[in-house]
Chains A and B, each alone.
Chain A
Amino acid sequence: MSQQTIKVMQSRDLKRTTNKQTAGHAIGTVGIYIFLCIMALIVLFPFYWMVISSLKSLTEYRLSKPTFWPQTLLLSNYRDAFTTASLGRLFLNTAYVGIVSTLLSLVVTIITAFAFARLEFKGKNLLFAGLLATMMIPGELFTITNYLTVSSFGWINTFTALIVPFLVSVFYIYLLRQNFLQIPNELYLAAKVDGTSDWKYLWKVMVPLALPTLISITILKMMGAWNSYIWPRLVANDEAHRMVTNGLRNAFKDTSGEVNYPVQMAAVALVSAPLFMVFIFLRKYIMAGVSRSGIKG
């Protein structure tokens, strides 16, 4: 056999094995897509069921054979849900607490992070390490005493009790400080030479540069207000100050047995809708914030 033929045969062999490999690869890829689609359906199904149940009539929901698309779209469920759970009031309360606490929290976080990132003072590192150490302690440990503190201040059933105890978040301070540290020192020194004050430099230069982090913090904080349940139930469970999660649970106490599901699901959909809206428009910031935090809400 000549050198030539051997080479041809070799290349043919090689081709055959790669063909086999691509075939196996293609089957594998199809398998991967099937797996992902099944998982995606499982993830989406509760949302789908929530929406279609909220549009069914009670009789249709209670058919022994389920329908996967409502026979008649009953939008009045949403009106009923809105009035039964007095969602309007709950939405307003939650929005108020969310907005005020986010704004105040941002201010406190910004000035504290600035002090840790740019200013020099004795005991800076020790204090910062102490702050980080408190992050390890579960929140429940604080809640017991905070409940007593808040009641001794006479804050029970006020918005203050819902806002003030959570204004300082060590995690947000940490996040923003890291971001501030990335801003080059030269900028600060140049501003100093120009005679710009620290205060002006912070708000005119650093805050705009750290905007993405600040947006992430805002979203996480707002979501936290929307989803908080335990603390509001403890300190502000009256009609005038009740928050949305708590109100939802209160309005629909039953979870099993004879339940008017269409209306309940309509209420759930209304409560979930703002979160989805935020998610659709600000996905990038949420995912960036979450991947650094690991804390829900």
Chain B
Amino acid sequence: MVESKQQWKAWLYLAPAIVLLLIFTVWPIINTVRMAFLEDYSIAIASGGETSFRVSLGNFVKVAQYQDFLICLKNTVLLCVITVPVSTLLALLVAVALNAIKPLRRTLQTIFFLPYVTNSIAIGMVFAAMFNIVGSVGTRRPLIQTVGIINNVIQFFGGNYVNWINNGSSYWANMFVLIVYIVWNALPFKILILLGGLQSINKQYYEAAKVDSTPRWRVLWRITVPLLSPMIAYVVITGFIGGFKEYTSIVGIFGESLGPAHAPGRLNTMVGFIYEALEQHHQGRASAAALILFAIILVVTLINLQVSKKRVHY
């Protein structure tokens, strides 16, 4: 009797969460899979009484053949494979350096965490301002007022200014700006995790190295990195997962046109593709793309886990 009362009470505590999860988590999983396999499914047509959607892989085939999707996929993959290693390496160096000092450590630690507590759209606009050339670049008679602070620095060192994000800018110039911004944004979390890992490493290893007077870089490569490898694997995996969902940084820098004035949409990503399809009421296409994204994230995570299993030393 008492036990059944406990049961009943437990479900009462769980009720709000379960109801909400059923509506906003479980049903979406089922429904998204359903829509993905119904060819050309669109809610606008479906609510009109039309029910004759063919069950097929049509949406997936169409998405894969869609030129826009391939551009989005390429952008996403490129951003991932460049920013994740770069930010991980930089974060590792900063964390190791922070761990090696005593005075100023807390202050510097706070500074390095600052980019985390920002709004990615807002600070994206700041980066755009730093790279933007104010004036009319890319027109027949360009009238340049200021080339922007980054170009000012380049000119200070004797270089020529670069058209980073304006009308007529090149794809790789755009990518460079995005990479800088994404790495800047990704550093704080990685530094926090890696520094936390470093502080839990047993000091004895370092004392042994000190006795043998091992050079610093070798200590880093032979002791620190292997002992830190579980944390490194963690930041790489979460980095890839976040990287495949990149979207708001691009909106921050380029606005909703997702590209420079002469090539809107050029820097769109997978997530952007899904939302575009959703806004145009192509729910079937959006669902198929979301499942493809999920599959890619899953595969990349599994590969990462497999690699780290071989490389990670506990």
Contact = CB atoms under 8 A, between A and B. Distances in A.
Q: Which 7 A-B pairs have the closest CB atoms?
A: A145-B28, A121-B10, A115-B13, A119-B10, A255-B128, A62-B145, A112-B17
Nearest to B254: A255
Nearest to B25: A134
Interface stretch (A1-9, A33-41, A183-191): A33-41
B38 interface: no
B24 A149 contact: yes
Contacts of B28: 141-146, 149
Given A268-B122, A291-B196, A61 B146 contact: yes
A228 to B, nearest CB: 9
Contacts of B287: 144
Contacts of A290: 116, 189, 192
22 contacts: A17-B213, A39-B94, A40-B112, A46-B123, A47-B126, A61-B146, A62-B145, A66-B146, A112-B17, A140-B274, A141-B32, A142-B24, A144-B286, A168-B24, A227-B119, A245-B122, A257-B135, A257-B166, A257-B261, A258-B135, A296-B120, A296-B242
Interface string B16-27: 110011011101
A167 B25 CA distance: 11
Interface stretch (B51-59, B290-298, B306-314): B290-298
A63 to B, nearest CB: 6
A124 B81 CA distance: 40
Given A119-B10, A142-B28, A147 B278 contact: yes
Contact of B245 (A17, A140, A173, A271): A140
Nearest to A286: B117
A36 B98 contact: yes
A121 B129 contact: no
Size band of the interface chain A makes with B: 35 or more
A169 B213 CA distance: 50
A41 B16 CA distance: 48
A256 B261 contact: yes
Interface in A236-251: 244-245, 248-249
A173 B123 contact: no
Given A49-B129, A121-B7, A230-B247, 16 more contacts: A29-B101, A35-B97, A44-B111, A63-B146, A64-B146, A111-B13, A137-B294, A141-B294, A167-B20, A229-B121, A230-B248, A234-B275, A245-B121, A254-B255, A257-B166, A257-B261
Interface in B113-152: 113-123, 125-130, 132-137, 144-147, 149, 152
B145 to A, nearest CB: 4
Interface stretch (A72-80, A205-213, A276-284): A276-284
B167 interface: yes
B11 A121 contact: yes
Nearest to A261: B129
A167 B146 CA distance: 47
B178 interface: no
B206 to A, nearest CB: 13
Given A35-B93, A121-B10, A265-B129, A223 B117 contact: yes
| Chain B contact surface mostly | helix
Contacts of B133: 256
Contact of A120 (B10, B184, B245, B274): B10
A259 B130 CA distance: 12
A95 interface: no
B119 A275 contact: yes
B160 interface: no
Contact of B260 (A227, A234, A256, A278): A256
Given A43-B187, A255-B125, A257-B132, A278 B24 contact: no
Interface string A161-181: 000111110000100000000
A70 to B, nearest CB: 14
Contact of B101 (A33, A115, A143, A268): A33
B110 A283 contact: yes
Given A49-B129, A256-B166, A286-B117, A144 B122 contact: no
Contacts of A164: 20, 24
B43 interface: yes
Contact of A49 (B23, B137, B149): B149
Contacts of A47: 114, 126
Contacts of B254: 255-256
Interface string A194-236: 0000100000000000000000000000010011011000100
A50 B101 contact: no
A100 interface: no
Contacts of A159: none
Contacts of B196: 291
